[in-house]
Structure 1
C-alpha cells in the first residue's frame, strides 16, 4: 500500500492540477487571448515583472492579440481608450485591488492607508476633500518663490559642473531638485538633496526598495501578510518601522517645525499661528487645530510621507524623459531653444522663469512635455481595478465580477489609431492635429491616470517642468556625455532610468 506521505503528495498534485485547469477555463475569460502560461498561473506575470520590462512586453502582447489580453488567470489588460471611462469613470463600481495597500507606511504598529493605497472609496473621498485644495495650481503658485529658491541652488550647482568641465549624473540631480521642491511645498523646508548633492538618509534607496517589493509582491498580494505585511513583525520587531527612511525622514521634517511626534506634544494654537504659511503642512496643521477629528495627526503624517514617497520619483522620471528625448532629437531641441530665446530677447521672461510665463510663451515646449510623457509614462504596470459584482461589458465583451482589469499607459500611448507613428517623438502632433484627432489624443493621455483617482500631485510635476526645463536650456547647452550609449530603464512599478550622464556648456541666448 502506498505510504501516507505519497498519498498526500498525490492529492496535493491533483489539487494543483485541478486549480490550474480551473484557472485556464475560468468562465468569461477562457477565450480572451494572451500568453498560454498566463492563463494558468500568476507566475507568468510575476516573472515578466521581475525581468523589469513588463511595459515593453504588454505593448507587444496588445499588438499581437488586440485590445483585450489575458495576462493572468484573473487579470485582463485593456488597450483601448474607449474603456477608460468604463473602468475609471465616476460611479462605475470599480475599486482598487489588493495590489495597492502594499504601498502603505507602517506607523504605530499598523499599516496606514493613504489616498493612493486605500481601496475604500468613501475614505478616499473624505480625505481628498480635506487636502485637495493644497494641490491646486493656485495654491502651489502661492509658493512659487520657494520653488525659485530651489531653482537658484540647482542652477548654482550646475554652473559648478559647467565651470569645471565635469560630466554629471543629470538624472540624479533632477531627482535631487524634485525632492527639494517637494520639501518646500510640503514642509516649507528644503530636504537637503541639492545642498549635499547626494541621497539624503538613503531616502531614494528606500523608495527604490519599496517599489521593487510592491511591484513583485503586488502580483501575488495574498503573500504580503506573510512577508513585510506580517502583522506580527511590528509587535515582535518594534524597530522595523525605523527601517523605512521615508517615514523617518517625514517625521524628522515635521518635528523640525512642530512637536507633532507624540500625544504629549500636540500643536497649540499659538505654535500653529507662528508657523502658519502656504505650505501643505501649515495648511493641514491649521485644519487639525480647528478640528482634530476631521484631520488627525495620523492623516498629516500619512499625507506628507506620501508626498515624499511619490512626489520626486514620478517627476524626475518625466524630467529625465524630456531632456533625453530632446538630446536625441537635435532639431526639436533647436526649436525649443529658439522659442525660449525669442521670448527672452523680447523681455517676456523673469529670472528664474515664472510658471505663467512658461505656459504663455512656450507652446512648443509644452508639446514636448506632453510627447515625452506619452513616450515614457512614469508608471509601467496596469492601474488595476476590480470589476464590480455582476460583471460589466468592456469593449463589447462581458467581463465577470471580481476580475482584475486595467490599462497600462505605455500601451494606450502607443495606439496607432490615436497616435500615428506611435513610437516616434513628434511634439508637433499636439499642435497641428485636427481638432477631432487632438481630442482623441487628450482623452487617451494616461500619464496621470484617470477618474477620481487621478494623481493628486500632478500639478507639482507640471509646475516643475514648466519652470526648470526652460530655465536650464536658457543658460546651458546639455549634451549626452556618451551619445553612442543608450540609457537603461527598469520597470519596478515606476519605469526608472539610469545613465543620463551629461556635459554642460554655458550659452548666451541670442
Structure 2
C-alpha cells in the first residue's frame, strides 16, 4: 500500500528531474548551442525576451549591441542565432542556400499566393528567378529602349516639373521620393500607361502612402507567431485590426487593376517584345508583366492546362511584391541621402560640378534627352554618396531569417562553433554588418569620402561587408533598377537645385525590418542653382 502511495511522488520527481534536464542542464551545458554567447540571460531557455524586444520595435539596435558585447555569433533564443561575420557567417547561410521559414508567410498576397520573396524553398525561388533575372540585369536595363523611354518621361515630364512647382515653398520630399520611386518601378512592371502616377496625382499619393504606412505597426503577431495568430483568428480572436486586412485588400485590388491594364496593352499591340513597338508606344510596354506572363505560360504548358485566374493572381502577387519593395526602399534611401547632403553644402557643390560633366546635362532645356546610364556609373562622388547612404541608412536593416539545413553547419569567423543542428532559425542584419568598426572607420558617421580615399584592399573589404541588397541566390533581384533610378533622381535634383532642411523632426529610422523615418517626413526647401 505504501509503495502505491509513493508512485505519484516518484512520477512527480521524475517530471521535475526531466524538466531540470530539458530546460536547464541541456541548454546550459550539453546543447550544441551551449558554447555560443547569449544576447540575454534568458536566451538559452526561452524566446520570450526576444519576442518582447520585437514587439517593442527594438530588435535591430538590441541585436547590434549584443554583437558588440559578445561577438559575431550570438544566441537569441533556444533555437535561434544571429551572425555578424562574413566567413562562416553570411557566406555559409546566404550563399549556402539555407531555406526560409514561416516568418516569410506575411509577404504572400491574395490570401496566401506565394511570390518569389516569400517562397520557402530555394528550388521554387530559383525557378521563378530564372524567369525574371535577365530583365533586371544591369546590361538589360542599360540597353533597354523601354527603360530609356520610361526614365526620360518620368524625369522630364513628372519629377522636374514637380520640383519646379515648389518654388521656395517647403514640402515633404520623402513623400515625393516615394511617389517617383513608385512610378519608376510600376512603369517598368506595367508600362507608363498602365502603371502609377503618384508624382503628379498628389491626392492619390497621399491616400496610398497613408494606407501603406498605416500597416507597419501590425506585423508582429502574424510574422513572429503565425500559428498562434491563425489559431486565434479561427475562433474569432483577431490580433490585428480588421482595417489592416482591408488596407491590404485595397492595395491588392489596385495592383490587379494594373495587371489587367497591362494585359489589355499586350492584347492591343499583339507583341511580346518591346522592340516590336513604335517609338511613341515604347514606354507603355509592360516589361516585367510581359516576361512573367510568357514564362508562366511556358511553365504551365509543361504541366498541362493552366488555371487563368490562378495565373493572374500569381502574377499579381509577384508584381505587388516588386512594387512594394521597390518603391518603399528607394524612397527611404533617397530621403536619407538628401538629409545628409543638405547638411553638407560643400559636398552639394562638388556633386553638382561632377554632374555638369554629363552629356547631356539633366536640365529641362535638354528634354527629353538623358545621359546614358553608363555615364552615371563613371561619376565617383555620386556613386560614393549613394553607397555610403545604403551603408549607414540601409532601407532594410533588419534580420533576414533562414533555417539551418539537415546536417547542420559550422559558424564563426574561425569556425568556432561546429555542429550547429538543423532546424535552427539563423539570421544576419545589415544594421550590424555595416557598423563593423574594423572595416568602416567611424561607422556611425556618413562619410562618402571613405569610398574615394580608401585603398583598393580597404574598398574590397568594405564591399565584402556591404549587405544593403542581401547576398547569395536570394539577393534582391531589383537592385540594379533601384540604383539606376536613384542615380537619375539625384542627378536631376542636384543639377538644378540645392536642398535646405526646414524640418527633420523624427528623421531617425524606425527600428524595424524595413525602416523609414519615424516621423514619416523630411521637410526641405529648394534653391534653384543658376549657371
Asked if residue 48 in structure 1 is aligned to residue 57 in structure 2, the reply is: no
Of 241, 262, 269, the match for 1:257: 262
Asked if residue 367 in structure 1 is aligned to residue 384 in structure 2, the reply is: yes
1:282 alignment partner in structure 2: 290
Question: After alignment, is 383-392 or 357-366 more displaced?
Answer: 357-366
On the 8 A contact 2:433/2:467 being kept in 1, the answer is yes
Question: After alignment, is 290-299 or 386-395 more displaced?
Answer: 290-299
Asked if residue 493 in structure 1 is aligned to residue 506 in structure 2, the reply is: no
SS at match of 1:481: strand
For 1:421 and 1:316, locate their aligned partners in 2 and report how far apart those are by CA, in whole Å.
Answer: 26
SS at match of 1:118: coil
Higher-Rg member (1/2): 2
Pairwise CA distance, 1:166: 1.5
For 1:186 and 1:437, locate their aligned partners in 2 and report how far apart those are by CA, in whole Å.
Answer: 38
For 2:85 and 2:104, locate their aligned partners in 1 and report how far apart those are by CA, in whole Å.
Answer: 23
On the 8 A contact 1:171/1:500 being kept in 2, the answer is yes
For 2:268 and 2:521, locate their aligned partners in 1 and report how far apart those are by CA, in whole Å.
Answer: 49
For 1:331 and 1:400, locate their aligned partners in 2 and report how far apart those are by CA, in whole Å.
Answer: 53
Of 163, 173, 195, the match for 1:158: 163
SS at match of 1:134: coil
On the 8 A contact 2:182/2:198 being kept in 1, the answer is yes
For 1:364 and 1:427, locate their aligned partners in 2 and report how far apart those are by CA, in whole Å.
Answer: 8
Instruction: Please show how residues 65-464 of structure 1 align to structure 2 within 5 Å.
Output: 65-82=70-87, 83-89=89-95, 92=96, 94-107=98-111, 111-141=112-142, 142=144, 143-152=147-156, 153-162=158-167, 165-188=168-191, 189-200=194-205, 202-226=207-231, 243-258=248-263, 271=270, 277=285, 279-288=287-296, 292-293=300-301, 296-341=311-356, 343=357, 353-356=370-373, 358-395=375-412, 396=415, 397-398=417-418, 399-464=420-485
Pairwise CA distance, 1:499: 3.1
Root mean square deviation of aligned Cα: 3.4
For 1:23 and 1:331, locate their aligned partners in 2 and report how far apart those are by CA, in whole Å.
Answer: 59
For 2:20 and 2:222, locate their aligned partners in 1 and report how far apart those are by CA, in whole Å.
Answer: 23
On the 8 A contact 1:317/1:496 being kept in 2, the answer is yes
For 2:387 and 2:515, locate their aligned partners in 1 and report how far apart those are by CA, in whole Å.
Answer: 17
Over 3 Å counting, the alpha-carbon distance change for 1:259 and 1:335 in structure 2 is: closer
On the 8 A contact 1:340/1:474 being kept in 2, the answer is yes
Over 3 Å counting, the alpha-carbon distance change for 1:259 and 1:95 in structure 2 is: same
On the 8 A contact 1:217/1:224 being kept in 2, the answer is yes
1:39 alignment partner in structure 2: 44
Pairwise CA distance, 1:389: 2.0
Over 3 Å counting, the alpha-carbon distance change for 1:475 and 1:160 in structure 2 is: same
Alignment TM-score, normalising by the size of structure 1: 0.84
Pairwise CA distance, 1:370: 0.5
1:507 alignment partner in structure 2: 529
Pairwise CA distance, 1:21: 4.3
Over 3 Å counting, the alpha-carbon distance change for 1:115 and 1:425 in structure 2 is: same
Over 3 Å counting, the alpha-carbon distance change for 1:206 and 1:433 in structure 2 is: same
On the 8 A contact 1:95/1:385 being kept in 2, the answer is yes
Over 3 Å counting, the alpha-carbon distance change for 1:288 and 1:150 in structure 2 is: same
Consecutive unaligned residues of structure 2, counting only runs of 5 or more, are 1-14, 278-284
On the 8 A contact 1:269/1:289 being kept in 2, the answer is no
SS at match of 1:69: strand
SS at match of 1:479: strand
Consecutive unaligned residues of structure 1, counting only runs of 5 or more, are 1-11, 261-266
On the 8 A contact 1:214/1:493 being kept in 2, the answer is no
SS at match of 1:115: coil
SS at match of 1:222: helix
Pairwise CA distance, 1:288: 4.7
Pairwise CA distance, 1:209: 4.9
Pairwise CA distance, 1:140: 3.0
The alignment covers a number of residue pairs equal to 479
